[in-house]
């Protein structure tokens, strides 16, 4: 679906590696804003219910990583994965998957997800408030294309995954070229 809406402005609390810090956790806090991630770039943002969850860890994130170079050929500057998880969880998840290309955005409080209209309750799974699964093509902070899974609802019994898959998003971009 084609839409044009600005992404909400929020500040994300991230943890970045800092080699000047000694010890087993050489990371420091760094605030990054929506403008840092989405301003002046053409990016893919995809969101999922949670780090370390089966579909997200087995298919969605690894396949965006594998297809990264194909997205670059379509004029995509970066691919971001956002989840209602804190920076510690997102960093550990990225490390466990050996990510090199896709960048992870921690939305620990769910502020960005809520302002995007994608925050849902997943109490039936013991998750609390999380993101509905979606992807978006964002150009200089404006959402140009939207890929939302069917069945948006609180405590959804299923976990739909097709529309926001990297394969579908890439195919849509290629067809539009």
Instruction: Report whether pLDDT(63) > 80.
Output: yes
Instruction: Report whether pLDDT(167) > 90.
Output: yes
Q: How many domains does the chain have?
A: 1
Q: Is residue 3 part of a domain?
A: no
Q: Is residue 62 part of a domain?
A: yes
Q: Sorting pLDDT into bands at 50, 70 and 90, what band is 4?
A: low
pLDDT in tens, 64-73: 999 999 999 9
Q: Write out the two tokens for 5.
A: 């809406």
Q: Is residue 140 part of a domain?
A: yes
Give the residue numbers spanning the domain of 163.
11-176
The β-bridge partners of 32 are 12
Q: Is residue 105 part of a domain?
A: yes
Measured in whole angstroms, the distance separating CA 141 from the mean position of its chain's CA atoms is: 15
Q: Sorting pLDDT into bands at 50, 70 and 90, what band is 1?
A: low
Q: Sorting pLDDT into bands at 50, 70 and 90, what band is 120?
A: very high
pLDDT in tens, 28-62: 999 999 999 999 999 999 999 999 998 989 999 99
Q: Is residue 30 part of a domain?
A: yes
Percent of the chain with pLDDT over 90: 92
Average pLDDT, the chain: 95
105-139 residues labelled b (16+ CB within 10 A) or e (exposed):
bbbbebebbbebebbbebeeeeeeebbbbbbbbbb
Q: Is residue 162 part of a domain?
A: yes
Q: Give the active site residue among 56, 137, 138, 173.
A: 56
Q: What is each CA distance from 72 to 34, 46, 64, 168, in whole angstroms? A: 21, 16, 11, 15
Q: Is residue 1 part of a domain?
A: no
CATH number of domain containing 86? 3.40.30.10
What is the pLDDT at residue 2? Answer: 53
What is the pLDDT at residue 73? Answer: 97
Whether residue 56 lies in the annotated active site: yes
Q: What is the pTM of this model?
A: 0.94
Q: Whole-angstrom Cα distance, residue 51 to residue 57?
A: 7
What is the pLDDT at residue 45? Answer: 98
Q: Is residue 5 part of a domain?
A: no
């Amino acid at each position: 679906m084609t839409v044009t809406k600005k992404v909400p402005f929020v500040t994300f609390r991230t943890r970045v590696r800092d080699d000047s810090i000694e010890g087993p956790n050489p990371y420091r806090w760094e605030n990054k804003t929506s403008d840092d991630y989405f301003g002046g770039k053409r990016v893919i943002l995809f969101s999922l219910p949670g780090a370390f969850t089966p579909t997200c860890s087995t298919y969605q994130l690894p396949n965006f990583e594998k297809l990264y170079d194909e997205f670059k050929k379509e004029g995509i500057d970066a691919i971001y994965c956002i989840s209602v998880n804190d920076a510690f969880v997102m960093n550990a998840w990225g490390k466990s998957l050996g990510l090199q290309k896709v960048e992870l955005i921690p939305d620990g409080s769910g502020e960005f997800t809520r302002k995007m209209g994608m925050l849902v309750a997943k109490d039936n799974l013991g998750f609390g408030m999380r993101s509905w699964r979606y992807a978006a093509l964002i150009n200089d902070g404006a959402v140009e294309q939207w890929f939302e899974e069917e069945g948006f609802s609180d405590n959804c019994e299923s976990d739909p995954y097709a529309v926001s898959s990297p394969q579908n998003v890439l195919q849509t971009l290629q067809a539009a070229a």
